[in-house]
Amino acid sequence: MTETPVTSVKTAVPGARRPGPGNALLGLAGLGGFLALAEAVPRLGLVSPDYLPPASTIAVALVGEMSDAAFWTALGDTLTGWALGLLIATVAGVATGVLITVVPYLREATASTVEFLRPIPSVALIPLAVLLFGTDLRSTLLLVVYAAFWQVLVQVLYGVQDLDPVAEETARSYGLGTWARIRHVLWPTALPYVMTGVRLAAAVALVLAITAELIIGTPGLGSRIAVAQTSHAVPDMYALVAVTGLIGVLINLGARAVERRSLAWHQSVRGEVTT
Amino acid sequence: MSKESGVKAGKGQHMLDVRGLRKVYEGHGRHVEAVRDLTFSLDAGELVCLVGPSGCGKTTLLKCIAGLLEPTSGEVLLQGDRITGPPPGMAVVFQEYGRSLFPWLRVRDNVELPLRQKKHLTKARRRELVEHALHAVGLEDAAGAYPWQLSGGMQQRVAIARAVAYEPEVLLMDEPFAAVDAQTRADLEDLIRRLWQELGVTVLFVTHDIDEAVYLGERVVILSSSPTVVQEQLTIDLPAERDQLHTRADPRFTELRTRVYEQIQAAKRATGALPLQKTDTDADTVPPAAAPGHKA
């Protein structure tokens, strides 16, 4: 209730957060079951503990990792590559999307190029990244930005299409110029789509950041996973993989929280309101 | 270009002048003449209702007047200046209040947004205008709400407040009450009469509702079916103080609404034929093809 705008006129129904305490309990139970299974399977000898150590061993390895300064450096490197890449991709995607829309005929002229470039898997650019930047952070950035940029751009292009002609005419009739209409009408209209784009891009960016570190060897959790693998530190490898998964979960939760806060006015967040 | 705070129309000059307006939509091999030849004018401080059969190009006309649409030929003058884009002295209230108000802005910010384009207004003055406008429509309590938290009638009042705060010389209203229930509609009609009297603004009110046109207007301009011309203009000589109960029961009101109704029926019958002004005799004998430029 706290972040819902409360007014004296009509109170908005806080929707969008259906999962009650019962569901959370079930989720915890499921997670506990999964961990128990991961503990039991190697202990019962169904899978060799050399390839899949019991969950408790992995947990111990995780604690060991967390007491190692190099782990935190790697985590910082991964998050830097992820955040910086996502930021660049978002700014570039939004700017390009708005520009393509506002300049006449540009959208038609660029549509085929976008459709051609977009499906190119970012990992196909790994050789290029190595050639250009070696094992530098910039290699990670190249892959992250390329993958995340299209997610944002495509959503921005969808979003600006959602522009209501009545809203646009209202703005024009009240003397809002091109820039004011972009700022006050186009941008808020596209914002829900931009948020979706950034959320998708954030997930993709993490995948590409880890991939770059793993394959190219740019510093970060990915290269640490590779080192753990080659030195047969299997529990550590699993611990690091678990950490990347946790980062993914946190990123998604964070993105959703930002979305809810900034889109309180949008029907996807505000829930049912009688008019 | 008209000045920001232009002088009121002087003698012999109309506030709003629509001259020989014609609008043809072209595209995809289609050629639709929405408005054929419209000429009428509004004096300063007049409240004129524009009524016509559905699909007669009322919205097209209004958009041309608002500077949102370029006429094919003819012109619209605001205080003698030709309109080429949305003029600063004009505000529009659209029928679709739900789409015309911005859902991401609170009521107060919706009303204030147009004022922020007027660079000479200070922040304090803007706030004053917003407060005054919301008070005028009876919504001072809803300033902090989002439009979608309000009822339809309240939302349209927000849109009216936004127009009032803009301090226009001319207020254009495009079937503003077509989407609200009858009770709310009556309240909003009285609100418009009251605001018009208090502010002395020139109002052009487009509607398809004959009763509404007669009840609200000082004058009713009746349009023909598309392609549109002015079918007739009727002065509404009802007392200035009007109320829903007595005005609508007035025999003169009934007389006037019958008159408007007959004209609209005549306009519908004359579809495709040469539209006539002031008379509807021989309407059926004029071949559609032989319709030259017609001047009354």
By a Cβ cutoff of 8 Å, what residues of chain B touch chain A?
Answer: 63, 66-68, 86, 88, 90-92, 94, 96, 98-100, 102-105, 113-114, 117-118, 141-142, 144-146, 148-152, 154-155, 162, 166
Q: How many Å lie between the alpha carbon of A170 and the closest alpha carbon of chain B? A: 6
Looking at mean pLDDT, say which of B11-25, B148-162, B261-275 comes out highest: B148-162
- What is the per-residue pLDDT for B9? 42
Among the partner-chain residues A5, A180, A188, the one whose CB lies closest to the CB of B102 is A188
Is A25 within a domain? no
| Bond before A119 cis per omega within 30 degrees | no
Kindly give the pairing relationship between strand B73-78 and strand B16-27: antiparallel
Inter-chain touch A170–B94, beta carbons under 8 Å? yes
Backbone angles phi and psi of B173, in degrees to 5: -130, 120
pLDDT band at A271 (very low <50, low <70, confident <90, very high): low
Q: Hey, is the C-beta of A164 within 8 angstroms of any chain B C-beta?
A: yes
DSSP class of residue A17 equals -
Of the candidates B107, B98, B92, the residue with the CA atom closest to the CA atom of residue B166: B92
Q: Which region holds residue B67: left if phi is over 0, alpha if psi is between -120 and 50, else beta? A: left
What is A112-127 written as a DSSP string?
HHHHHHTTS-GGGGHH
Among the partner-chain residues B63, B99, B142, the one whose CB lies closest to the CB of A164 is B99
Residues 188-227 of A with CB under 8 A from B: 188, 191
What is A222-275 written as a DSSP string?
HHHHHHHHHTT-HHHHHHHHHHHHHHHHHHHHHHHHHHHHHTTTSHHHH-----
- What is the per-residue pLDDT for B149? 92
* Residue range of the domain that includes A159: 48-270
- What is the per-residue pLDDT for B26? 85
Q: How many Å lie between the alpha carbon of A9 and the closest alpha carbon of chain B? A: 6
3-state SS, residue A6: coil
Check which CATH number belongs to the domain holding A245 and give it. Answer: 1.10.3720.10
3-state SS, residue A33: helix
Kindly give the pairing relationship between strand B73-78 and strand B81-82: antiparallel
What is chain B written as a DSSP string?
---TTPPPP-TT--SEEEEEEEEEEEETTEEEEEEEEEEEEE-TT-EEEEE--TTSSHHHHHHHHTTSS--SEEEEEETTEEPSS--TTEEEE-S-HHHHS-TTS-HHHHHHGGGGG-TTS-HHHHHHHHHHHHHHTT-GGGTTS-GGGS-HHHHHHHHHHHHHHT--SEEEEESTTTTS-HHHHHHHHHHHHHHHHHH--EEEEEES-HHHHHHH-SEEEEE-SSSEEEEEEEE--S-SS--HHHHHH-HHHHHHHHHHHHHHHHHHHTTTS---SS--TTTTTS-TT-------
Output the pTM of the full model.
0.78
Helix, strand, coil % over all residues of chain A, rounded to 5:
75, 0, 25
Inter-chain touch B67–A12, beta carbons under 8 Å? no
Q: Hey, is the C-beta of A169 within 8 angstroms of any chain B C-beta?
A: yes
pLDDT band at A116 (very low <50, low <70, confident <90, very high): very high
Contacts of B86 in chain A (CB under 8 A): 172-175
Q: How many Å lie between the alpha carbon of A2 and the closest alpha carbon of chain B? A: 16
Q: How many Å lie between the alpha carbon of A249 and the closest alpha carbon of chain B? A: 29
Among the partner-chain residues B104, B141, B162, the one whose CB lies closest to the CB of A8 is B141
Number of domains in chain A: 1
Contact A112, A168 (CB under 8 A): no
Q: Mutating which of B102, B134, B150 best tests the A interface, going by the most A Cβ atoms within 10 A? A: B102
Among the partner-chain residues A164, A175, A270, the one whose CB lies closest to the CB of B88 is A175
Among the partner-chain residues B105, B149, B152, the one whose CB lies closest to the CB of A273 is B149
> Which string of b and e fits B6-39 if b means at least 16 CB within 10 Å?
eeebeeeebbbbbbebbbeeeeeeeeeebbbbbe
Contacts of B148 in chain A (CB under 8 A): 265, 267, 270, 273, 275
Tokens of A32: 């506990």
Q: How many Å lie between the alpha carbon of A104 and the closest alpha carbon of chain B? A: 18
ipTM: 0.81
CA closest to A172 among chain B residues = B86
Is A206 within a domain? yes
CA closest to B96 among chain A residues = A166
Cβ neighbours, 10 Å, residue A67: 9
CA closest to A275 among chain B residues = B151
Find the mean pLDDT for residues A202-215.
94
Is A5 within a domain? no
Given a cut of 80, whether residue A81 has pLDDT beyond it is yes
Q: Which residue has the tokens 């915890």?
A: A28
- What is the per-residue pLDDT for A76? 95
Is pLDDT larger for residue A256 or for residue B289?
A256
User: Which CATH superfamily does the domain covering B12-89+170-276 fall into?
Assistant: P-loop containing nucleotide triphosphate hydrolases (3.40.50.300)
Contact A58, A64 (CB under 8 A): no
pLDDT band at B12 (very low <50, low <70, confident <90, very high): low
Contacts of B65 in chain A (CB under 8 A): none
Is A29 within a domain? no
Among the partner-chain residues B86, B99, B142, the one whose CB lies closest to the CB of A175 is B86
**CB within 8 A of A217, min separation 6: which ones?**
A135, A223, A226
Inter-chain touch A9–B149, beta carbons under 8 Å? yes
- Length of chain A, please? 275
Taking only the tens place, the pLDDT of each residue in A234-261 is 999 999 999 999 999 999 999 889 888 8
- What is the per-residue pLDDT for B295? 38
Q: How many Å lie between the alpha carbon of B86 and the closest alpha carbon of chain A? A: 5
- What is the per-residue pLDDT for B139? 92
Is A177 within a domain? yes
Q: Hey, is the C-beta of A6 within 8 angstroms of any chain B C-beta?
A: no
Is A169 within a domain? yes
Domains of chain B by residue range: 12-89+170-276, 98-167
- What is the per-residue pLDDT for A57? 92
Tokens of B142: 């809803």
Question: Hey, what amino acid is at A126?
Answer: I
pLDDT band at B64 (very low <50, low <70, confident <90, very high): very high
Contact B77, B16 (CB under 8 A): yes
Inter-chain touch B104–A266, beta carbons under 8 Å? yes
Tokens of B195: 């605001």
Tokens of A68: 């190692």
Of the candidates A101, A110, A89, A102, the residue with the CA atom closest to the CA atom of residue A200: A89
Is pLDDT larger for residue A245 or for residue B245?
A245
Share of chain A above pLDDT 90, in %: 70
CA closest to B117 among chain A residues = A176
